[in-house]
Structure 1
Amino acid sequence: MSTRDLITVNGDRLWRSLMELAEIGAYDDERTGLRGVNRLALTDADAAGRRLVIGWMEQAGLAVRVDRMGNVYGRREGGDPGARPVLTGSHLDSVATAGAFDGCLGVLGGIEAIRTLNERGITTRHPLEVAIFTEEEGVRFGTDMLRSAVAAGRVSLEDAYALTDRDGVTLGAELARTGFDGPASERLDPPHAYVECHIEQGPVLANAGVEIGVVTGVQGISWQEVVIHGRAAHAGTTPTELRADAGLAAAQVVTNLRAMVDSGSYGELRATVGHLAVHPDLTNIVPARAELTVDLRNPDDGLMARAEEDLVAFLRTLEERQPGLSVTTRRMARTSHVPFDDGVRKVIAQAADDHGLAHLSLLSGAGHDAQEIAALCPTAMIFVRGEYDGISHNPREYSTPEACAHGIDVLATTLLRLAGHD
């Protein structure tokens, strides 16, 4: 190792970029009293954030291209024009109640790494690329890691274009409206390697007093939409035994999921009903319909499959308990446990050691674009410690300027070592 091989970025400049981007889509959150971020995929706020970051890519000398799924790639050429690129990046879209760091740190950190290499006059053998992936969160169009899934071939372009939000607007229409229906192919040629830096979104690193996480992989994720069809009736005159109450059935789904988790029969299962709505949503009417989403997570694919099967069986019992009730389901997303590449993980761990940063290995509980790109090339991730128990998808989401800078120091050093240099 030489000092030329060890990259320390400008942490103040990185922080300014994060804070400036956070003003796009910013709102005052009444529940926390904090400034939050709302940049749902392909909204005007998301488009504005993308344009700001594209400007920073171009200022850093990157050649920018946009593909047919709205993915943005900024490329820095290497010394070997035939070599495959080392790719980094993440996403800029957010949930409706986000903080400033989820996804953004990976994109802006990649740009900061490029700036630092430029300033030090370092030419890599492999090209370097920074990516902005479209609709990673999945909260608007119902499929997470969507763009990277199309890039890797798991989801077709046609299926992605046809996805709709809750207002019936298609993803394809929003790409065209925002001007991000680019000309480049939606399929990604396999890179040489992919490395993504991200906030942890959990408490493991903070509890261990460690700054850097070397991510071993991503657990399996299952998203389903469940619609329960009952029968509207008067709340005061309809006897309980004659009701087909969709609201009651929805509540039973929620409590059954928690019982499944608490049973311990499904390993490290996590289950969440993040969306629940009843219709007609009136005080004195028995709900005729309930719509809910079920998010299951498990690092064991076999136990995940068993949990899904048992959920289906439970939904059937709801129809038996209440005559007149029927249940339909729709698969929104399903990914298996994805292990990351040992070789790339070792490069990350060595970079952390060389920067004098304590690190530990951990599995990601959240989904990331890296799990899709892992189907194309050697892939791994770097986690940065968060404060306040690592809370995320919340305006309280926070990583310190020092933690962000240290994570991107590790990213930049890893990228340089993977890309090679004279």
Structure 2
Amino acid sequence: MARKYFGTDGIRGLTNKNPMTAAMAMKVGMAAGAHFRRGDHRHRVVIGKDTRLSGYMLESAMVAGFTSVGMDVVLLGPMPTPAVAMLTQSMRADLGVMISASHNPYFDNGIKLFGPDGYKLSDADELAIEALIDGDIDLSPAPEIGRARRVDDAQGRYIHFAKSTFPENMRLDGMKIVVDCANGAAYRVAPTALWELGAEVVSIGVTPNGKNINDGVGSTAPTLLCETVVASGAQLGIALDGDADRLIVVDEKGHVVDGDQLMATIASGWARSGRLKNGGLVATVMSNLGLERHLATQGIGLVRTSVGDRHVLEAMRAQGYNVGGEQSGHIILSDYATTGDGLVAALQILAELARAGVPASELLHRFEPLPQLLKNVRFAGGKPLEDEAVKAVIAGAEAELKGRGRLVIRTSGTEPVIRVMAEGDDPAQVEAVVDRICEAVRVAAG
């Protein structure tokens, strides 16, 4: 059944436009609160947010919604998404909320929900909440209205947790690290955690003003980080996104290291120490074929899923893997977290660097990525991928690339766009294949 409000990662959109209005945020709070009121205990929800200007508005609206159906609210303030998931569990809450649009610009915002186990909601839960949003919700009697309070030590709790994932016998003394917090949710916790572990920390993207989140900084804009790493003589650069659930790294030479290389580094290290479960890792169809080939040389398997860290996590839980993620930098380490955690993943990379005793440029570039090309084709309606002529062109391309590359074609879940990606040993062949398919889609779409 298709969702009306929830997308691949919660509810998201342009602020003050449906569905990202204060009225909708209050209705989501009422609906989610009503859905998760189970049993006779005093119910509790924790709410975190990133640094967007609209976070104040949406937070207040959600507090009104939750308290109106009898849920007590614990406000965390600006906190990373993985911190909200962790604190939902540790505070025995019935529900967790993160108000964020991740790597999007400030004028967007979103609502992510976590169940009492710290995991993002199931399809069934989301559909049940959507049905309540569009229906009538029973309000609590006046004596049972919920209360709201702020927790002052939430940041300290998360910093302590993040540091606990770093090997006890290690410190970061003598290591200079540049950390780019995207003017987002981790602008305090990430630099503090690294400093407490002994690193010399150079911080950028730590002066949020409500409108500069992800603006020329963070994991989707690493140029400033690259320049700062080289200029400061740092051993490593760490870039998080607006809600700190993804990680991109820059080596000491100013070269960007993506999620595929980071997953390969962690999986290889964990395999050597006997920590890698099920002999492999989980990635999406967008991860480079070079990753798959590299892992195979080490006897490490790769399971591919649809795009989205939600699908990665589902496969990890179902099949018993403890490392997974996306090329974009969402890295899930289920020994520690129930969702992607940029800071925790960075600490695992730093641990591998400390063990290896070699420069980041030597350790982290594990394989040579195959040439990869992605193009988008907009369409007004219909289903161009079901057109017989398009199917024939795709089949021909798959036959041409067989054994030498890969083809991934999918319809976007957030906009009327068909994404055509190919990769292979021959860049000219890759480009020709992508252009041929895109043209066929354009013709079918009219």
User: Could you state the TM-score of these two structures normalised by the residue count of structure 2?
Assistant: 0.27
User: Could you state the TM-score of these two structures normalised by the residue count of structure 1?
Assistant: 0.28
